[in-house]
Amino acid sequence: MDEIAAPSLSGEAWRSYYQSDELSWCAPNRIAPEYFARFAQSDWIGKMLRYTRVQPGPATRVLEAGCGTAMYGLTLARLGFTVDAFDYNEEALIFARKLYAKVAPNADLPIRLYCGNLLNIDSKSGAYDLVFNQAVLEYFTEPDERARVLAEMARVAKPGGWIALIVQHTGHPFRRFWERLGWSGYTNQPATTRQTPDELEHKLRQLGLVNVNSDGLYPWKAFFFYPDWHRRWKLTENLVYLVGQALHRGVPLPRAWRKKLGLQFLAIGQKPPA
């Protein structure tokens, strides 16, 4: 950390959203502790750990750089990693602390939650075995800010450590089709910038990272994403969910198709060993 960064445009854009106290993807009162055990087996967590090959243990340090509600960081802490997780907005950490109370009401998890700026991470260089975030990079719409985010994440990774980005596939090939059918995009959220697996791989290589790779997450969901008529009734919603899970587990797509069709994707790169 060499200089004081200007306020994050993305962080400021998210502030009012967190202040609304209504998050479509996170309702702590409805999340049970066992949810985190299932989440640990999800494509999001499972593929990130599989591709980076980091192993849980108190000596393995992980940074969730832009944690929001810290659902990922809390899940990794439950698995035994030592986790630091920060967000630009204190309002986001209020949700994170509520989740902490749900997942570990009678135990201390190896996780530290704090406010921080992704444009100037408050950590010494080479501190973490894994530096990651989810649904963060695409909200940095200014190219200079986006480049600074990637450079900071690479800076605080250990030599031989990993950078992992889970990103909404805002360059999805179905996006224009969905928009013609009336999809209004990421409603009530800040603007996003175009991100695709191949484009992000290129950016990671430009940083000097090695072993760069990417993969799509839950590609079959693209066929049920919009129109979402099935969500009008509980029966059809449950049926479509079960069909999607069966396709995901029983009919795995080739990686090229997963990258193309995943509603989100994972991009990873390794900091060259010293």
Taking only the tens place, the pLDDT of each residue in 72-103 is: 999 999 999 999 999 999 988 988 998 888 87
Residue 7, pLDDT score: 72
Q: Which residue has the tokens 């599989």?
A: 50
**Element spanning 85, H or E:** strand 82-87
Residues 226-249, buried b or exposed e (16+ Cβ, 10 A)?
A: beeebeeeeeeeeebeeeeeebbe
Q: Name the CATH superfamily, with its identifier, for domain 9-270.
A: Vaccinia Virus protein VP39 (3.40.50.150)
pLDDT of residue 21: 58
Residue 98 CA to residue 107 CA, distance in Å, equals 14
Write down the domain spans for the chain.
Answer: 9-270
- Of 130, 71, 94, 84, the C-alpha closest to 17 is 94
User: What is the pTM for the complete model shown?
Assistant: 0.91
Q: Find the range with the poorest average confidence among 13-22, 50-59, 237-246.
A: 13-22
End-to-end CA distance of the chain: 20
Q: Is the model's pLDDT at 2 over the cut of 60?
A: no
Contacts of 197 (CB under 8 A, 6+ apart): 169, 214, 215, 216, 259, 265, 267
Per-residue pLDDT tens over the stretch 13-54: 777 777 765 665 566 666 777 888 889 999 999 999 999 999
Give the per-residue pLDDT at 274.
81
Residue 187's pLDDT is 66
Count how many residues are written for the chain: 274
Nearby residues of 258 by Cβ (< 8 Å), 6 or more positions away: 215, 216, 217, 219, 265
Please give the structure tokens belonging to residue 39.
Answer: 């989440």
Query: How far is CA 266 from its chain centroid?
Result: 8
The kind and range of the H/E element at 132 are: strand 128-134
Instruction: For residue 144, give Cα distances in angstroms to 6, 119, 149.
Output: 12, 10, 9
Looking at residue 26, what is its pLDDT?
61
Does 141 score more than 70 pLDDT? yes
Average confidence (pLDDT) over 238-261? 94
Rounded to whole angstroms, the Cα distance separating 105 from 98 reads: 10
pLDDT of amino acid 1? 47
